[in-house]
Amino acid sequence: MALSLLLLLQAQAASRGEPASADIVVLGETLKAIRFSGGVDKHGRVRCKVKRSSGDPGLDRLPCRAVYECAERSLKTQVEVQGCMDERLGAYVKMLGAGDPL
């Protein structure tokens, strides 16, 4: 998922004629190291757990934050969930790359 996010961000920058930011590339590479599981259980509770850390607790929280935000949208298909996750993680990386707090 993080790789698709990285490619999406690079494609967006290229389509605007901007060079890919080194900060965004580094963030994308760091996010690729994170492994997590998440979803909604049979009782309707949203669950998320980081299984492999990037070494940065702040970045480790981002995938689970995206899981919780996407769960609020009551998405029905895996494609919708994947699109939401890519969109949310992309937004976080852009904010961090711009120096904005999350």
Tokens encoding 29: 């590479």
**Pick from 13, 3, 32: nearest CA to 98:** 13
Residue-by-residue pLDDT tens, the chain, 102 positions:
544 444 444 544 444 444 456 766 777 778 888 999 988 888 888 999 999 999 989 889 999 999 999 999 988 888 999 999 999 988 988 888 777 777
**Pick from 12, 9, 29, 4: nearest CA to 82:** 4
User: For the whole prediction, is pTM greater than 0.85?
Assistant: no
